[in-house]
Amino acid sequence: MAEHLALLLTLPSHSSPIASPSKYSIPTKSMAATVFGTAVAVAAASSSSASSTSRFLSSATRATLSFSSPSPSPSLLSRSSSSSSFNFLRSSPLISHLFLNQGRPNSCGSNRRFSASSTPKCLASDPEQLKSAREDIKQLLKTTFCHPILVRLGWHDAGTYNKNIEEWPQRGGANGSLRFDVELGHGANAGLINALKLIEPIKKKYSNITYADLFQLASATAIEEAGGPKIPMKYGRVDVVGPEQCPEEGRLPDAGPPSPASHLRDVFYRMGLNDKEIVALSGAHTLGRARPERSGWGKPETKYTKDGPGAPGGQSWTVQWLKFDNSYFKDIKEKIDEELLVLPTDAVLFEDPSFKVYAEKYLQDQESFFKDYAEAHAKLSNLGAKFDPPEGIVLDASPKPAGEKFDAAKYSYGKD
């Protein structure tokens, strides 16, 4: 949800639309660099052979996508070399860290071609491919430290939901619309092109998974692999098929509004969330960093970020900013470490009487925080979604050991 809750992440640099493996700079005037500000840009150095003239499912052209052809095709994410296509990254006041039938080739068979504007018969994601994709995401997290930006990706796709609008997809929510240029151009989403480039190889490998499901699968897996709670997820989300189905800009939260408490409630109540869920989701700021040159918030570097992990620099909310725990609540309440970031929307959690009840509880009881966070994250991931089958798809536990879980504590975070 971005700009506010931690959806914020590290964003791409103004001058370079695609982050390179050696430079993960991601600018933005939005707090996108926030909670999920991560070294994720490491991803996705664009496929060198891919045609940079093809737009990412641009509204001007609905290119036919091949998920079965053995010959390499231009990446859906490849961008024009023209810097104009990334002008939207230059100024974003938002702070984010966080229509119609879609086409999914699913069990109808993967050896087929379909147009983004067509309506295939099968819509739900394939359960076995979802399980395999989950394992690939775990490996991606281990090598790129991209936990924060993947969390933000899922939050921002779902966080546009408006409970006052019944029609799908006009109501927004988790429908995969964030893959289109028009929505990527929203200030709150600056830098999320890097997250898309990170997971595009997984989408191409598992073509019978919708973007809406992949975004939420990546987000939940990132939380779990960072040491957070198991999220009770379900899948089978239907994708929108065109950019004309994207929600208008302005549905995601701001970083420093005049009245933080009122602003948080205006945005999250519109989604159907309550005070407890607002505070629990805010706790995800335990992940990531903010960078002043990208979001307008934070310091250029601190003793906790000067050496990474991942790209160095930025200011984190917590010391171990790749570890999911309840330390965020302790740090924003005490405000004794000037090396750690506290935004207006963070501080208000201990100033507003209603928010404070939950913030104090989570500071004292990590188990309660994990329980409430898991429920709130799952609820957020389902907002506005249309499921096929209607009851959704619940994945079984991974049939094989996932391997060594990411250990955030083993990194020095700039300390000796």
**Lowest mean per-residue pLDDT among 85-94, 140-149, 227-236, 254-263:** 85-94
**What pLDDT was estimated at residue 9?**
37
Whether 373 and 227 have beta carbons less than 8 Å apart is answered as no
What pLDDT does residue 255 have?
A: 73
Could you read off the pLDDT of 353-370 as tens digits, one per residue? 999 999 999 999 999 999
* Residues tagged active-site: 156
**pLDDT top residue among 245 and 89:** 245
Beta-carbon-side half-sphere exposure of residue 200 (alpha carbons within 13 Å)? 21
Give the model's pLDDT for residue 296: 74
Residue 10: predicted pLDDT:
37
pLDDT on residue 34: 39
Residues in the chain: 416
What is the secondary structure of 223-261 as a DSSP string?
HHHTT-PPP---B-BPPP-SGGGSPPS--SPPSS-SSHH
Write down all domains in the chain, each with its CATH number in brackets: 127-245 (1.10.520.10), 260-376 (1.10.420.10)
CA distance 391 to 49: 41
The pair phi, psi for residue 290, each rounded to 5°, is -115, 145
Q: pLDDT (tens digit, 9 = 90+) per residue, 60-76?
A: 333 333 333 333 333 34
Across 16-166, where does the E strand assignment appear? 64-66, 113-115
Cα→Cα distances 232→58, 298, 376, 395, 397, Å: 34, 33, 10, 10, 11
The reported pLDDT for the residue numbered 404 is 52
Q: Which DSSP string do the residues of 182-210 spell out, in sequence order? A: HHHTSGGGTTHHHHHHHHHHHHHHSTTS-
Confidence of residue 59 (pLDDT cuts 50, 70, 90): very low
Q: Which of 164-168, 242-246, 308-312, 386-390 has the lowest mean pLDDT?
A: 308-312
Structure tokens at 261: 């408490």
Q: What is the mean pLDDT of residues 318-342?
A: 94
Mean pLDDT for the stretch of residues 391-407: 66
pLDDT-derived band at 309, boundaries 50, 70, 90: confident
* Distant-in-sequence, close-in-space partners of 261: CB < 8 Å, separation ≥ 6: 348, 351, 352, 355
Q: What's the alpha-carbon Rg for the chain, to the nearest Å?
A: 19
What does the mean pLDDT of the chain come to? Answer: 76
* 398 compared with 65, residue with greater pLDDT: 398
What are 174-186's pLDDT values in tens digits?
999 999 999 999 9
Contact criterion met (CB below 8 Å) for 224 and 373: no
* pLDDT at site 47: 42
pLDDT in tens, 290-299: 878 667 788 9
CA 275 to chain centre: 22
